[in-house]
Amino acid sequence: MYRSILALSLSTILFGCGGGGGGGDSYSATDSTDKEGSQWERIIPACPDNMFCKMLTVPKDYYQADAETVEVHYAIHKASDTDNRIGILMVNFGGPGGEAVQGASRMITHDFPDEILQHFDIVALDPRGTGKSAFATELTDCAIALAATTGNCDDTLTQVAPYMGSNTIVKDMNELRKALGEETISFFSYSYGTRLGSLYAKYFPENVRAMVLDSPMPPVSDNFIDLKKASTAGNDLIANYRLDFNPQQKQSYEAVISHFYNANEYTANDGSHLSMANISTTLTHTVSREAWGDWAEIKNELITLLDDDKAEPLINKLNSMSSSEYTADDLRFNQVFTAVVCTDESIGLTQSEINASLPEFEQQSMLYGAYMWKYSAMCANWQPKRDPIDHVKSMQDILSGQQILIIGGQYDTATPYQWTTEMANSFGDLATVITVKNLVSHAFSYTNIRCVDQYTTGYLLDPTVKIADASCDINTNKQRKMTKIFNHPAQQNPPGTF
């Protein structure tokens, strides 16, 4: 669903989100630009056939809980074995900007094993700004106007962003838990969803039964620049892996990129000129997820450039690869992403401070440093009110012995593996880490990696049993079918998200 914003990937290259889908009819919401023949049209899916949907009324501002309220949308799929029901399994597919209800519906149909569906009510809450929850319509409308150059989202973000940060979503989650009459929750999350999960464990430790943090965010970060620099290093690691750790090819690649940014052009020995679009797309595809096939498409042509300094084959290949137009949902997604990430910042930076940070990016990667830095100013001079998130530290002193399962990829395309290590350190002895090796991807549970799935399912069924740290090496896992990954909500999202 979200593949269509590939061209924006490295402008926000970070965390993973959920995709749409599910049963039921859909209808078009009216927006102002439709009257002028805009190609964008917001489609709001009906409640999936396999879930029950409802709206929950919550405070707009939890710091003034007796004031204005808003509504958030959620859905439930009941456990099939009611006599042996364990409780609720709340899911979040990340983003920020990804909805949860449609993604959960798809996982219920395609991905969750019978043991999970038998024993848990699957509960999905669309975060504010997504699905049918508060602010989704306003952000879609302004995003369409921005794309059509008939307006922008400045006023809308000022009005709604302060009530969309991670602190607020975590409190919405707890309000939903209380509304459902549950003492505790089991939480299953990918990517940015792990930020919500780890914060929930910090703010409401007594209400945590189990928590899966798959492809985690860092437990400690102050701003968007912190995230971008770590992602820059992560991209460099993937590029090394994709080039088979060939130092000569890596140096050639760095030389091409450096020359392009210094001279604003690159002409190969065959006379072909690489454009900014060529450079951007090549860098993006070099670190794209294996299942999407983008790297396989350009690999030989890129090697020809690096070994022989011939660019024409690469340019022709890039021109032949299909691209999609943006949808209204893509446009909205980007605005939600901005609203949440910037609201969460504890240390905001000015444009001049960000401009001066290029050397810090280049320390992380000479290949990706300048490119990532170029797109790092999303939150510069942020005007709306912030709601900074807490650092997640010393969680073994906060939780009451609950075990936490953390899953990280050695070559994760959105949340670098160093964040897995950092999250594990924050939970100390309570954390078990499952490391996925030799796979360039993001979000791993229930994507048909049997080694990972057995740990995730076993843990959710009984989180009191301590699991030792383990590795799942894709090179030795012959059961994996890469075709299935395209149906998975956490794999159908922008490469530029958490």
Q: Which residues of the chain have pLDDT under 70?
A: 1-38, 477-498
Give the whole-angstrom CA distance, residue 438 versus residue 475. 7
DSSP code for 178: H
Contact 191, 94 (CB under 8 A): yes
Contact 58, 125 (CB under 8 A): no
Kindly list the domain boundaries of the chain, sorted by start residue: 9-225+326-354+376-498, 226-320
| Residue 113: C-alpha distances to residues 119, 403, 482, 488 (Å) | 11, 21, 18, 13
Please give the pLDDT value at position 39. Answer: 79
Contact 285, 303 (CB under 8 A): no
Give the whole-angstrom CA distance, residue 460 versus residue 5. 34
Helix, strand, coil tally for the chain in percent (to 5): 50, 15, 35
Please give the pLDDT value at position 30. Answer: 38
In the block, tokens 């088979």 appear at: 244
pTM, two decimals, is 0.91
Query: How far is CA 219 from its chain centroid?
Result: 15
Please give the pLDDT value at position 34. Answer: 42
Please give the pLDDT value at position 4. Answer: 31
Please give the pLDDT value at position 409. Answer: 98
Contact 18, 40 (CB under 8 A): no
Contact 402, 211 (CB under 8 A): yes
Contact 446, 456 (CB under 8 A): yes
In the block, tokens 């919500």 appear at: 196
Nearest Cα to Cα of residue 97 among 440, 343, 315, 448? 343
Please give the pLDDT value at position 32. Answer: 36
Give, for 471, the enclosing helix (H) or strand (E).
strand 470-473
Give the whole-angstrom CA distance, residue 401 versus residue 428. 11
- With H, G, I as helix, E, B as strand and everything else as coil, classify residue 333: helix
| Residue 256: C-alpha distances to residues 233, 249, 259, 275 (Å) | 19, 11, 5, 12
Nearest Cα to Cα of residue 214 among 188, 231, 190? 190
Is CATH 3.30.360.10 correct for 9-225+326-354+376-498?
no
Give the whole-angstrom CA distance, residue 140 versus residue 134. 11
Q: 98: which residues sit within 8 A by CB, 6+ positions away?
A: 2, 16, 17, 18, 19, 130, 192, 333, 489, 493, 497
